[in-house]
Amino acid sequence: MIEFPSYQKPDVIIAIDPDVTKSGVCTLQPKTRDLKFDALDFPNVLELIRTTKDLTEPGKLVVVVEAGWMNKSNWHLLQYDSKAQAARKGYDVGRNHETGHKIVEVCKALGIRVVEHIPLVKRWRGKDGKITHEELAYFTGITKRTNQDERDAILLAWNFAALPIRVKVRH
């Protein structure tokens, strides 16, 4: 998490889990914990960023982009993947990273504070350690259904805002 001086704390955080087809996007107002989320294509992500910038006091918006390219490695391969499957996965990951890079580039061009954030550690109960809807709903209070990209964006925004993340412990 990045610490901002109190005079620079964002009123609005847009967190994005970039994807070529539909990026997970969350808009969070940390003071009220009001959050909105969706899965949007690239043009609609940019429109949301522009619209939010226009509606937010200058300097009070920050866009946080999950930057998978900051990982030292990005292995999504399975031991039985063929060379073609491995190449396809690498190609897809690269395209998603490029989407993230373009979002960062647009934010900088618009004068919006943007943070490239390393992906959060996966320590949840879902497949591959991903957070489940139930876990996320427990500390955010969301009731609307979510997909994995939306959950990743919500968790990124919540974590970036340093809001409490409580989990129910099973015995």
With respect to residue 169, please indicate whether it lies within any of the assigned structural domains.
Answer: no
| 95 vs 157, more confident | 157
With respect to residue 23, please indicate whether it lies within any of the assigned structural domains.
Answer: yes
* Mean pLDDT, range 40-62, rounded to an integer: 96
Given a cut of 60, whether residue 59 has pLDDT beyond it is yes
pLDDT band at 140 (very low <50, low <70, confident <90, very high): very high
With respect to residue 150, please indicate whether it lies within any of the assigned structural domains.
Answer: yes
Asked whether the beta carbons of 158 and 140 are under 8 A apart, the reply is yes
With respect to residue 111, please indicate whether it lies within any of the assigned structural domains.
Answer: yes
pLDDT band at 171 (very low <50, low <70, confident <90, very high): very low
With respect to residue 80, please indicate whether it lies within any of the assigned structural domains.
Answer: yes
User: In the chain, how many domains are there?
Assistant: 1
Q: What's the CATH code of the domain at 87?
A: 3.30.420.10
Tens digit of pLDDT for each residue in 67-120? 887 776 555 556 676 767 665 655 456 667 788 899 999 999 999 999 999 887
With respect to residue 118, please indicate whether it lies within any of the assigned structural domains.
Answer: yes
Range of the domain at 94: 6-160
